[in-house]
């Protein structure tokens, strides 16, 4: 079975089109914290199709988008082609290919859980400049937000390719974060944003996840059928309301 990271090669289009944008308040937080300005050089590690990279680029920063998945990296190069301050890099968290002490800030959006934490920490320390920090963010679906969200979360769990009993035991998010930052110290912020989505948006968002069935897999058709049933049950005027919470962590390494 493919790992989650490998499965994204077949999910690039859905990922780029249907994953919700990160809330702009995140960039305002980084600006208010004096982490970015118009002259910042940033390494966005695990940059994927460039969802978070785009927000950074709009502030006129120079951003290295470091991504090892070829399909996602090439999609980002297409989507961000109008940004002259974007530099696409074929690299990983453990081997970025960037120069020593070359970046002011390292960002990781929706990718930290895929990294080898020990090796990536050494690499981050190599490329970060003095007084530079690391910013990590997850944009989480709020599964308890309303009745649709609860039913949708249950459906995703039912059809998950990686069952809990078969998953490799990993440290909790709080454990990963605490162990990664210097002296277990970091600043934490959360930003909630609400979306209204039609079925196409819900379907595309679901299929962009690493753990949902691909079209060539047996559970795909039953999954789509049941997803439509859940959507129809809770939709109002062809849309459902969902919420995401961007959980952010900023600290020294």
- Return the CATH number of the domain spanning residue range 4-251: 3.40.50.150
Domain ranges in the chain? 4-251
Strands 240-251 and 128-141: antiparallel
Rounded alpha-carbon distances, angstroms, from residue 124 to 28, 29, 34, 224: 24, 22, 20, 40
pLDDT digits (tens, 9 = 90+) for 153-192: 999 999 998 645 445 567 788 888 999 999 999 999 999 9
**pTM exceeds 0.85, yes or no:** yes
Burial 160-180 (b: 16+ CB within 10 A, else e): bbeeeeeeeeeeeeeebbbeb
Q: Is the pLDDT of residue 10 over 80?
A: no
CA distance 179 to 121: 10
Rounded to an integer, the average pLDDT of 66-75 is 95
Closest CA to 103 of 82, 77, 137, 134: 134
Distance of alpha carbon 226 from its chain centroid, rounded? 26
Whether the CB-CB separation of 96 and 127 falls below 8 Å is answered with yes
pLDDT digits (tens, 9 = 90+) for 81-120: 999 999 999 999 999 999 999 999 999 999 998 899 999 9
pLDDT given for residue 223 in this prediction: 97
Contacts of 253 (CB under 8 A, 6+ apart): 121, 124, 125, 128, 133, 134, 180, 181, 182
The CA-CA-CA angle for residues 81, 83, 84, to 5°, reads: 105
Confidence band of 148 (pLDDT split at 50, 70, 90) = very high
Query: HSE of 55 in the Cβ direction (CA atoms, 13 Å)?
Result: 20
Q: What is the 8-class DSSP label of residue 127?
A: H
Confidence band of 233 (pLDDT split at 50, 70, 90) = very high
Higher pLDDT, 210 or 43: 43
Rounded to an integer, the average pLDDT of 204-220 is 91
pLDDT given for residue 201 in this prediction: 95
User: What order do you get walking across the sheet with 128-141 strand by strand?
Assistant: 86-89, 62-66, 41-45, 103-109, 128-141, 240-251, 187-197
């Amino acid at each position: 079975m493919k790992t989650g990271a490998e499965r994204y090669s077949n999910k690039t289009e859905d990922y780029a089109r249907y994953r919700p944008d990160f809330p702009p308040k995140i960039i305002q937080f980084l600006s208010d914290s004096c982490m970015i300005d118009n002259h910042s050089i940033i390494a966005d590690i695990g940059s994927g199709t460039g969802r978070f990279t785009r927000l950074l680029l709009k502030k006129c920063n120079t951003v290295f988008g470091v991504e090892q998945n070829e399909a996602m990296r090439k999609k980002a190069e297409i989507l961000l082609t109008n940004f002259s301050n974007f530099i696409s890099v074929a690299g990983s968290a453990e081997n970025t290919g960037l120069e020593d002490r070359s970046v002011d800030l390292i960002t990781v959006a929706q990718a930290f859980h895929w990294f080898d934490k020990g090796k990536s920490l050494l690499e981050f320390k190599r490329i970060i400049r003095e007084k530079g920090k690391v910013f990590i963010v997850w944009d989480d679906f709020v599964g308890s937000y309303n009745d649709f969200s609860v039913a949708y979360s249950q459906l995703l769990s039912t059809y998950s390719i990686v069952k809990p009993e078969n998953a490799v035991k990993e440290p909790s998010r709080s454990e990963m974060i605490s162990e990664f930052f210097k002296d277990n110290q970091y600043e934490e912020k959360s930003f909630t944003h609400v979306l209204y989505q039609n079925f196409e948006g819900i379907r595309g968002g679901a299929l962009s996840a690493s753990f949902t069935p691909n079209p060539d897999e047996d559970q795909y058709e039953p999954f789509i059928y049941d997803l439509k049933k859940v959507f129809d049950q809770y939709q109002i005027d062809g849309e459902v309301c969902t919420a995401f919470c961007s959980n952010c962590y900023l600290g020294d390494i």
